[in-house]
Chains A and B, each alone.
Chain A
Amino acid sequence: DIQMTQSPSSLSASVGDRVTITCRASQSIANYLNWYQQKPGKAPKFLIHAASSLHSGVPSRFSGSGSGTDFTLTISSLQPEDFATYYCQHVYSIPLTFGGGTKVEI
């Protein structure tokens, strides 16, 4: 199985901050990498596919980059509604696996 490791596991930030979350795959996954946002008690929300392609309706302050084994999710200017947990997920092979999550807190 391909292991997905996110760092940090949590971070504290303020409104307006630039936030970067890292996701590392245990082997190369090309760009088969998605990002999701989850708020407490809610289902995850899809943000980005293919490492850097923003889903329709997702604010442009979100961006993704990377290929191979190292990927990043960046929020250019953190907004109050962005406080949540973020997960990366690879779709390179079966089983699909998610990272452990990064909780973005005030």
Chain B
Amino acid sequence: QLQLQESGPGLVKPSETLSLTCTVSGGSIISSDYYWGWIRQPPGKGLEWIGTIHHSGTTYYNPSLNTRLTMSVDTSKNQFSLQLTSVTAADTGPYYCASQRLVPATTTNWFDSWGQGTLVTVSS
């Protein structure tokens, strides 16, 4: 079973850049079965998919965040990361990283292992 752990600052000032890293253990980030995703949850609201990255560097971003979002992967450290620029209070909430399991030869996929989440607050 994969384990994932988010890390990064819990407090970010408005207009600055949010940077988070997810460390994967219990398996390799270089796996043909997996992509790697970020999901967030605005306070009191539902889940929002942020984006997904493959160990090759291929990325898929939520169009609503596309202009502010960059995701990257460091295979030597078994980590993947996100950077979200120009943050506002609307970017506050818990952020989760997750493994995104793929079914070969299909587009079926799901988030099967999740980090515990890290709370990010955007405030001056």
Contact = CB atoms under 8 A, between A and B. Distances in A.
B62 interface: yes
Interface majority SS (helix, strand, loop, mixed), chain A: loop
Could you say which interface size class chain A belongs to? 20 to 34
Interface residues of B, number: 23
25 contacts: A34-B110, A34-B111, A36-B111, A43-B96, A43-B98, A44-B47, A44-B111, A46-B110, A46-B114, A49-B110, A55-B112, A87-B46, A87-B47, A91-B107, A91-B108, A91-B109, A91-B110, A92-B107, A94-B62, A95-B63, A96-B49, A98-B46, A98-B47, A99-B46, A100-B46
B76 interface: no
Contacts of B108: 32, 49-50, 91
B48 interface: yes
Lowest 3 CB-CB distances: which A-B pairs, in order?
Answer: A43-B114, A96-B49, A98-B47
Contact of B116 (A43, A55, A99): A43
B48 A43 contact: no
A32 B110 CA distance: 9
A64 interface: no
A2 to B, nearest CB: 12
Interface of B: 39, 46-49, 52, 60, 62-64, 96, 98, 107-117
A89 interface: yes
Interface string A85-106: 0010101101111111100000
Interface of A: 1, 32, 34, 36, 38, 42-46, 49-50, 55, 87, 89, 91-92, 94-101
Nearest to B63: A95
